[in-house]
Each structure stands twice: as structure tokens, then as C-alpha cells.
Amino acid sequence: MRIDGHTKLAFVLGYPVAHSLSPAMHQAAFAAAGVNAVYLPWAAAPDRLAAAVQGLHAMENLLGVNVTVPHKEAIVPLLDGLTPEAEAMGAVNTLLAREGKLLGDNTDGAGFLAALREALGCEARGLTAAILGAGGAARAIAMSLARAGACRLVLLNRNVDRAKRLADLVAARHPGCQVTAQPLRLNSKITEVAEIRLLVNTTSVGLQPNDPHLFDYASLSAPIVVCDLIYNPPETPLLRAARARGCPAGNGLPMLVHQGALAFERWTGKPAPVQAMQEALGI
Ligand code: ATR
């Protein structure tokens, strides 16, 4: 890698950020596509986010930024505008530098749909899906599935009022999709949710080795496709249980690659070297 006076800068902005795989993935992409840029982790505490965004505004050689936890929603009012995707998600995972302005974009939903198709052979159109969780990640997944033509979504969450609020939000934007909310309990059986073809975990449960189960995993059966957005550990207890019961199952790495590939394309105008990005993540 050669750094010179023309080198552009890209970052992942989060807190903490040391665990992020994005620097390795994007630097490999820049090398493979011959883009003269460096991609660095930028740890900014929540109370320094406004100062960080001000600094970005002053950076004329900025190529782009990825935004991660916990800044995806908090950064919205600090930007000059949002793309329709970011507006629908109420969250930003990518910043675009356009004529001195910082535009918030969101590639999480489209990245999820691309990963679903590529890694699990699952198309959103006409789908009935269960989504576990009702936070920002659930909103991105639910909005993107509804927008891509899913016909029914069931939002399952420990706090069912939160799931109801999200269901109302998604249904208001996508009247063609039936969206309902149900409580998520340790003894909930997935078979109680009729004709589910896809189950997506958007909660943080499974990140820690001693996390409880989210529902009765023994109720999983083929042909339900199971997707866990967690990628570290690579196989959560949910994915292990799904595979043991013959369900096609995949973790969040393909989504990480595809949301990153879409950001790369928006920053550089070049096709993303997806294979190099996958190799950088060991997939
Ligand atoms: P994100 O923006 O990443 O989606 P979040 O807004 O903090 O994160 O949401 C985390 C999700 O994980 C929520 O749906 C949360 O459920 P509650 O709304 O009931 O809090 C869910 N979650 C976290 N810990 C959980 C646990 N131990 N059991 C079940 N759900 C859990």
C-alpha cells in the first residue's frame, strides 16, 4: 500500500470499535480495486460524536465513513441530509461526502437482502418471516423485507410493546405487508407462528457464551431458514440448534460483506471486489 498526497481517508466510527472487521475488509477492497485510500477505526465516545462529525466536515479528502454501534441513530441530526433508505431506517450506517456535505445513507437493509439471497438462497418476495427483536437492527431488517415484497412479518420481542410500535411503523410505510407483534418467551414455540419460512435474530442474545435461549429451539424444523445477525461467535446456540434440526442456517458475516460492498460502490463508483472482501474475513 502506497500512501501519498492523493490518498483518501475512510473510517468506521463507533464506540468501542476495536472489534470491528470493517478496516481489514475495506482495506483489502481498496487494494484489490486499486483505490488510493486508507480505512481506519475511529473510536469516538457518544459525548464526542458531534465533535467527530464536525471534524469530518472539514476533511476534504474524505472518501466515506461507516457508522456503527452506538452512533447509528444519534448521528442523524448531525448530518446535512439522509438518503431515502436512511430515512426509512431512522438510522445511518454509511456517510457519503457530497460537495462538502455529509449525507447519511443506510446499506444494512440492502446488504441483508443480498446476503439472504446469496448465502441462504432465500428471496424476500412473498415471504413470511419472523424477526426476533425490536431495536434498530430489527427495524432495518423488517423495513427491507417489507420493501422487497415480503407478505407477512411477525415481530417477536421480550418487550412486546416495543414490537407493536415497530409493527405499526413498518405497516404504515408498507400497507401491502401484514405486520404483527408477539411476545418472545423462553417457552415460545416457533411452530405457533404459522407458515414461517425465515427466522432472523436481531437481538444481542448469543453474543455471550452463557446467554439464555430466546425461545424453545426444539420447535425449529426444516424448511425454516434461520439467519442470526451475530457473527462473533460464528455459530450461536440458535444456529447450532437450527442446523441440528436440518434448517438452512447462516450468521451475519455475509451481511457484513454486502453492506460493506454497497458502501464501497457508493464511495468509489466502482464495483466492489466482493471476493477479496470475503477472503479478508476468512469466508
Ligand atoms: P439494536 O439497535 O442493535 O437492535 P437494541 O435497540 O439495544 O439494539 O435492541 C436489542 C434487542 O435485543 C431488543 O429487541 C431487546 O429486547 P427488549 O426490547 O425486550 O429489551 C433484545 N434483547 C436484549 N437482551 C435480551 C434478552 N436477554 N432476551 C431477549 N431479548 C433481548
Interval between CA 137 and ligand 1 midpoint (Å): 9
Same domain, 144 and 221: yes
Nearest residue by C-alpha to atom 3 in ligand 1: 137
Asked if residue 111 is part of any domain, the answer here is: no
Q: With 80 as the cut, is the pLDDT of residue 135 above it?
A: yes
Which atom of ligand 1 lies at the shortest distance from residue 203's CA? Answer: 12
Same domain, 184 and 147: yes
Same domain, 131 and 216: yes
DSSP secondary structure of 228-263: ES--SSSS-HHHHHHHHTT--EE-SHHHHHHHHHHH
How many domains, in total, are found in the chain?
Answer: 2
Asked if residue 78 is part of any domain, the answer here is: yes
Same domain, 151 and 264: no
Interval 253-273 mean pLDDT: 98
Same domain, 154 and 266: no
pLDDT digits (tens, 9 = 90+) for 232-257: 999 999 999 999 999 999 999 999 99
Neighbours of 84 (CB within 10 A): 9
Neighbouring-strand partners of residue 102: 97
Asked if residue 66 is part of any domain, the answer here is: yes
Same domain, 155 and 192: yes
pLDDT at residue number 98: 95
Asked if residue 1 is part of any domain, the answer here is: no
Interval between CA 138 and ligand 1 midpoint (Å): 9
Asked if residue 171 is part of any domain, the answer here is: yes
pLDDT digits (tens, 9 = 90+) for 76-107: 999 999 999 999 999 999 999 999 999 999 99
CATH number at residue 61: 3.40.50.10860
Which atom of ligand 1 lies at the shortest distance from residue 136's CA? Answer: 2
Cell of 33: 480495486
Same domain, 128 and 206: yes
pLDDT at residue number 225: 96
Quote the pTM value.
0.95
pLDDT at residue number 203: 97
Nearest residue by C-alpha to atom 12 in ligand 1: 203
**Ligand 1 pocket test: which of 93, 108, 158, 202 has the largest number of ligand atoms within 8 Å of its C-beta?**
158
Asked if residue 113 is part of any domain, the answer here is: no
Same domain, 79 and 128: no
CA distances from 248 to 129, 144, 218, 222 (A): 14, 21, 15, 8
Same domain, 136 and 236: yes
Interval between CA 52 and ligand 1 midpoint (Å): 27
User: Whose CA is closest to 250, among 281, 283, 279, 272?
Assistant: 283
Q: With 90 as the cut, is the pLDDT of residue 115 above it?
A: yes
Tell me the catalytic residues.
72
Structural domain boundaries enclosing 61: 8-106+255-281
Q: Which helix (DSSP H) or strand (DSSP E) does residue 39 occupy?
A: strand 37-43
Q: How far apart are the first and last CA of the chain?
A: 23
Interval between CA 62 and ligand 1 midpoint (Å): 34
CATH number at residue 129: 3.40.50.720
Nearest residue by C-alpha to atom 8 in ligand 1: 135
d(CA 143, CA 10): 28
Same domain, 192 and 271: no
Tell me the pLDDT band of 191, cut-offs 50, 70 and 90.
confident
